[in-house]
Amino acid sequence: MKKTNIDNEREFDWGKTSQDYAAYRSGYPKSFYEVLAALGIGQPGQRILDLGTGTGVLARAFAKRGAAVTGVDIAANQIAAAKALAEQQGLDIAFQVCPAEKIDFPDASFDVISAGQSWLYFDSSVMIPKVLRLLRAEGCLVLTGLLWLPLKDRIAQQSEELVLKYNPDWGGAGYKGTMPPVATWAREQFELRTFHVMEESLEFTRETWQGRIRACRGIGASLSPEDVERFDADHRKLLEATAPDAFSVLHQMTIHVYVRKNRTAVRHLLETAYRAFNARDIEATLATMHTDVEWPNGMEGGSISGHDGVRDYWTRQWGMIDPHVEPVRIETDAAGRVVVDVHQIVRDRAGHVVKDELVQHVYLVEGGLIRSMEIRRPSPSPPGTGGNSRPTT
């Protein structure tokens, strides 16, 4: 794997660390899961998708608490280790090897989608609409972190200095403990339900701390086996000279819980679009849409793409008929799409009513703009609405 924003684009492969990862990255302490439980996360029967699951640290913890868990990771070795650990612990977890960006599950499949120190490896432009589609309407995205604090802990600082001698590109050093409450990528589509920061000293021996550092991205995932061996020998000498047989390392734990953005803004967006359409203000209507919007051709069938396509279609439509569309109900479905019941009246150019019906417009809204719309016909049609004619909007 190579990421433009990580380690100066140096390649890394978490699969190379799987043995140490499984043995020495045991994960979060009990206090962390107590906070999650208080937040209603990891409950019995909850459907949870754990992204970048690694060896299944979060997945196994949630499964122990009775959740129905699916874990995905890009590294086959990590998934193999996760399956072995789950089997040892008698846990039934659906693990699969898959890049997070390519996961494919039915809409509204999960109550919780979690990512333990892994979201930074994903393409958020791909993941945000995917997460919104896969979460139930009231579901949440949970991002967690567990990072040692080198500015407060001498052993962590000295180990980091050695890592940098072997891998100067490693970007994980020098964490100051200043995690932002809301990530920049989350601001358009998500609201922060809660943000927790906790510090706790975790217990290690020289051996387990050596294993923990070998399993970090800067060493085991990036260096050759020969360089890992040389690093490990130097690290052992460092610890023998500076650390007791058993010691603690101060860590920071973080929890971000995101939910869907308040739908008031979406309602206002759609109401603005309908008013502009009825006023025949094409440009104002297009201003509510993504430049690559996908729009249905309600007269002839098929679809239209982009502002120019929609503009040409409506100009042609309005030359033949006079439609008026009035939203009567706006709701969000389980997949996060916005469903609008619309009373549609269509007149010919002489003013005679040719259609009077109720239709449904189903929207995908991304980045505060309409990304796509499809037309559905409610069934059965309410009394007083007209027949089976094709919707036109």
- Tens of pLDDT, residue by residue over 227-256, are 999 999 999 999 999 999 999 999 999 999
DSSP string, 322-337: EEEEEEEEEEE-TTS-
Q: What is the pLDDT of residue 188?
A: 78
pLDDT greater than 50 at residue 17: yes
* Sign of the dihedral defined by the CA atoms of residues 258, 259, 260, 265, in that order: negative
Q: Give the mean model confidence (pLDDT) for residues 209-216.
A: 97
Q: What is the pLDDT of residue 138?
A: 85
* Burial (CB count within 10 angstroms: exposed 0-12, middle 13-18, buried 19+), residue 297: middle
Res. 388 pLDDT band, cuts 50 70 90: very low
Q: What is the pLDDT of residue 72?
A: 98
- Reported pTM: 0.69
Q: What is the pLDDT of residue 389?
A: 43
Q: Which residues make Cβ contacts (< 8 Å) with residue 19, sequence separation at least 6? A: 81
Task: With residue 197 as reference, give the H or E element that holds it.
Answer: strand 190-205
Res. 75 pLDDT band, cuts 50 70 90: very high
Contact 16, 221 (CB under 8 A): yes
Neighbours of 106 (CB within 10 A): 9
* Sign of the dihedral defined by the CA atoms of residues 120, 123, 129, 135, in that order: negative
* Core vs surface per residue 128-162: b (16+ CB within 10 A) or e: bbbbbbbbbbebbbbbbbbebbbeebebbebbbeb
pLDDT greater than 90 at residue 336: no
Q: What is the pLDDT of residue 383?
A: 39
Regarding predicted confidence, which is higher, 79 or 138?
79
Q: How does DSSP classify residue 391?
A: P
Res. 19 pLDDT band, cuts 50 70 90: very high
Q: Give the mean model confidence (pLDDT) for residues 202-221.
A: 96
pLDDT greater than 90 at residue 81: yes
Q: Give the mean model confidence (pLDDT) for residues 131-143.
A: 93
pLDDT exceeding 90 applies to what percent of the chain?
Answer: 81
- Token pair, residue 278, equals 């009825």
pLDDT greater than 80 at residue 279: yes
Res. 5 pLDDT band, cuts 50 70 90: confident
Task: With residue 186 as reference, give the H or E element that holds it.
Answer: none
Q: What is the pLDDT of residue 386?
A: 40
Res. 301 pLDDT band, cuts 50 70 90: confident
Regarding predicted confidence, which is higher, 333 or 123?
123
Q: What is the pLDDT of residue 362?
A: 94
pLDDT greater than 70 at residue 41: yes
Q: What is the pLDDT of residue 118?
A: 96
Order of strands across the sheet that contains 303-305:
303-305, 289-296, 369-376, 353-366, 338-348, 321-332
Res. 331 pLDDT band, cuts 50 70 90: confident
Res. 385 pLDDT band, cuts 50 70 90: very low
Q: What is the pLDDT of residue 381?
A: 42
